[in-house]
Amino acid sequence: MSSLLYSLSQAANIYPASELFLRHRLQIVEELWESVLRQECGQKMVDLLGQLRDLCSPEGQATHDQASSAVKLIEQLNINEAIRAARAFALYFQLINIIEQEYEQRQQLTRYSEAEAEIEDSEVLPNISYSSNQRENDAPVTRAIGADLLAKSWVAKEKDKQKGTFAALFPHLFKLNVPPQQIQRLIAQLDVRLVFTAHPTEIVRHTIRDKQRQVVNLLQQLDTVENRSGNTVGGYPWEAAELQEKLLEEIRLWWRTDELHQFKPTVLDEVDYALHYFQEVLFDGIPQLHKRFKYALSKTFPWLEPPQKNFCSFGSWVGSDRDGNPSVTPEITWQTACYQRKMVLERYIQSVKQLIELLSVSMHWSDVLPDLLESLELDQSQLSEIYDALALRYRQEPYRLKLSYVLKRLENTRDRNLTLYKRETPKNEDKPMYRSGSDFLAELRLIQRNLTETGLSCRELDNLIAQVEIFGFNLTQLDIRQESSRHSDTLNEILEYLQVLPQSYNELSEAQRVAWLTGELQTRRPLIPAELPFSEKTNDVIETFRIVRSLQQEFGVHICQTYIISMCREVSDVLEVLLLAKEARLFDPAIAVGTIQVVPLFETVEDLLRSRSVMRELFELPLYRALLAGGYQQVEDKEEKAKATSSSHATCPLTLNLQEVMLGYSDSNKDSGFLSSNWEIHKAQKSLQHIAEEYGVNLRIFHGRGGSVGRGGGPAYEAILAQPGHSINGRIKITEQGEVLASKYSLLDLALYNLETITTAVIQASLLKTGFDDIEPWNEIMEELAARSRTHYRSLIYEQPDFIDFFHQVTPIEEISQLQISSRPARRPSGKKDLSSLRAIPWVFSWTQTRFLLPSWYGVGTALQEFLQAEPEEHLKLLQYFYVKWPFFKMVISKAEMTLAKVDMQMASHYVQELSNPEDKPRFDRVFEQIASEYYRTKDLVLKITGHNRLLDGDPVLQRSVQLRNGTIVPLGFIQVSLLKRLRQSRNTAPSGVIHSRYSKGELLRGALLTINGIAAGMRNTG
């Protein structure tokens, strides 16, 4: 029997012939899926799903006739049948995602190997003399041994098959004659930081993720068996059959597992979810990234030094971001830091135990240097119990004895950490332990040095050293984030209690606030009493700064150095944080040295425009410039600056003369639309970089990107290349949010490739500046397009009187808010049902569910059309030229094209027709017509600019992925509408007609939430 949702005839239209491996995998999984449904639900359900799937057009879009037939079919279902159908489609999407993700990983392996092979075979470097100390036995980090030949042939035909790899980057730089000195300077300051966040877009339960991982493992085993069967070594036919049986069992267990979260996750649950990716993939995988870099660099520029091993590092907001989340308390942040340290210590303990087994070197057959013997004598005096227990066993094996001492210190450190996690007073503080990762690292390097000087090496030890250099004892750096008004309200209450000012602080003008704050920051006099007689909110802000001080004292200053101010609008917003930091002894005003960096987050378009004046005014303040420079002494005595830099960890732990600024994509998009948001952020980066250069300050832009295009998401490689070149300079910081974590970091090779492409793009954007961003006529045209787009966007979102009612009725926004997927509320504290209080994530999430995807394209078409009206032919040629030559413009159009391909305006119309109250339909129809007209206008113009006949013709892989899902999302959308309709009518009035009234609201809500899960999986995107 042919697969229900996938047939070879369909595949012939979707896939190139060379993608046989992918087609084969899809067939296997879909047949297993169908078999599970037959066993669990019966043939009747299988036939029903077939009927629903057949109602879709070949392009995977709904039509009016098909919608009518689907509604009749679905309305006849009872709640249990509807839920089973929704779950079946959701399971299908999850399985398809797994297959595509595994295939993407195979592609990356093949791509990486072929890129290396081409470099080795080419004569690109005929005149280069290699240094004598280059290791000849360095091997590539990753080889696609046994990769599917068909997959390789497909990859080989790709236009940019090496794009984003180190193996392609450095020969490219060589061919372009980029001076090696410039490359070396950039490598020396290379700083790529990925910050994991707990935003509520990870809709899949942790338990389901485990099931998915097991399916991936079984599929990889199946690959091995099938590859072996195709070789002369041979394989047993029963092995493949047995693995398919295991897959069937696993998918059946998955089917019987609840997809919905059983309870609202706590913040520590979210911490555990985030650490899961380090535990399973990143902790062991990240050292390979440096090896890839080093190897590729040595092939082209063997005389250049590779970067520090921690050139790519990680931050986290999970457990420390308190913006709008009252569940993130100072105590939770403390426990998060302890929890992270617990994970790395346990991993280090495992590694040291393995090294004890491995390093069996005997003094009979190998020399031992005096420094190791001296350290053993010191260890014996401090850990006599270890010596008494193991000295005889390891009397001729010094490395094993040394590592046994190391192990005991790690275990003591772990035990003390557990005590601190419980907030108990540590006992036996005099026990030998490691106070920091650097102490542990010093011991490992001692062992490594002794091995090296006696002619030995140990890859496992080298790998452990790399892990300690990258992760230390902290795993990630915790960023604190809080909304600006919380700080002003805190100071307002403190000052009213102390009666310091003649009027309320909140009533002061901005100039008065800055004057008072600047004066207060000059004194060491404490402002806040030790005992806190204030409100709970004020005490929470004060205690947050105090916990940062405690964290730095216990874990080292690098555990938590960044304090982000969301909704930052004025200079006073920054100075308020600095004043509160001073009160917690994180900033010393007498010498202007601090251990915390204040990072303004500019989000709305108005704030982005104001960011220039805010940063300029801050840089004009002597106190603030001194803080960035490392203190007044560094400003006054430039001759001592080099000395201070070399010992900066002793005097100023912050990176000297570095200002971090965060730019928010979510709120700017919600505020002004997709095109305007991207342009304003682009302009802000250029302006901020010019201002920073003017004041001799280095700038690091922190990009607050979400998973969806409407919140700054999309391919990171193209997005980084589209940034103004001067704004990167080897430094970038990016948030990784929600479902993005699972898509990028669930599999090792995908994670490594993602990080490699980001790093490659940072280097390219820094060294190969196009100059197109500085062409003033082009900027003027973009300014005009952005303004027109913003006007049209806001005329719908903020000026159309029926829009808010439309949004709440035709999208599942209220039901989404009831998903137990985040510890943070969907709305800001005001709780009003308006757009200002609604967070950007559920805003985008709702439009994605209904197939509008409105935040990612609305306003673009009108802006383009109005520009073309003046000179249709000439202006179209100009826009086409922009698309080819200007990375920023191409990125914007490509993102819009990707989103438009996922839009189904017929399905969106079904939501409007079925979920609108009868009395509201006339006015809602007008809103829908406005939206639909803009969609078709935008689609038409994007196709003209790109020169494509169909959306995504330039990216057939993505086009295939979208088409594969679109068709099956349609019946799931019909089911969602039916359940939402029943649920809402059960809430409001006694239902009648075909609406089934015998089901409880709880059952109906559960069914609706399951459809939300399924559509999110099908779209591979939530918010």
Cα dihedral: 286, 291, 292, 295 (round 10): 170
Helices (H) and strands (E) in the chain, counts: 43, 10
CA distances from 127 to 124, 177, 656, 819, 956 (A): 9, 14, 40, 63, 40
Instruction: Report the alpha-carbon distance of residue 313 to residue 315 in Å, rounded.
Output: 7
The one-letter code for the residue type at 302 is P
Which residues on adjacent β-strands are paired with residue 193?
313, 733
Q: Which residues contact 229 (CB under 8 A, 6 or more apart)?
A: 235, 237, 240
Q: Decide if 199 is catalytic.
A: yes
For 962, the token pair is: 């979208």
C-alpha torsion 494→496→500→504, nearest 10: 110
- Give CA–CA dist 841/853, Å, rounded: 12
Question: 975 vs 307, 450, 651, 806, CA distance in Å?
Answer: 53, 67, 63, 20
Going by C-alpha positions, the residue among 30, 21, 43 that lies closest to residue 93 is 30
Euclidean distance between CA atoms 46 and 37, whole angstroms:
7
Residue type at position 358: L
Q: Which two tokens stand for residue 187?
A: 């490598």
Chain centre to alpha carbon of residue 36: 34
Q: Can you read off the two tokens belonging to residue 860?
A: 């673009």
Residues contacting 338, CB < 8 A, separation 6+: 417, 418, 420, 421
Pairing of strands 191-197, 312-316: parallel
Q: What are 862's two structure tokens?
A: 């009108």
| Half-sphere exposure of residue 188: CA atoms within 13 angstroms, side-chain side | 8
Q: How many CB atoms lie within 10 A of CB 776?
A: 7
Nearest to 960 by CA among 20, 9, 11, 5: 11
Residue 587 gets which letter from DSSP? E
- Cα angle at 663 between 659 and 668, to 5 degrees? 155
Residue 870 corresponds to which tokens in the numbers above?
């003046």
| Residue 400: both structure tokens together | 């094993």
- 8 A C-beta contact, residue 1018 and residue 965: yes
State whether the Cα torsion 922-923-927-929 is positive or negative.
Answer: positive
DSSP letter at 706?
-
Query: Which amino acid is it at 709?
Result: V
Q: Is 792 a catalytic residue?
A: no
Q: Which of 291, 408, 582, 670 is catalytic?
A: 670
Task: Tell me the β-bridge partners of 600.
Answer: 565
The span from the CA of 378 to the CA of 762, in Å, is 46
- Sign of the Cα torsion 679, 685, 688, 689 reads negative
Give the span between the Cα atoms of 721 and 766, in whole angstroms: 9
Cα(899)–Cα(708) distance, rounded to whole angstroms? 9
Structure tokens at 4: 């229900």
Using DSSP's 3-state secondary structure scheme, residue 410 falls into: helix
In angstroms, the Cα distances linking 596 to 392, 556, 580, 591, 624 are 50, 12, 11, 14, 12
Tokens read off for 69: 């037939």
Q: What is the DSSP string of 625-651?
A: HHHHHTSHHHHH-GGGHHHHHHTHHHH
Q: Nearest Cα to 974, choosing from 94, 268, 76, 119?
A: 76
Q: What residues are labeled active site? A: 199, 670
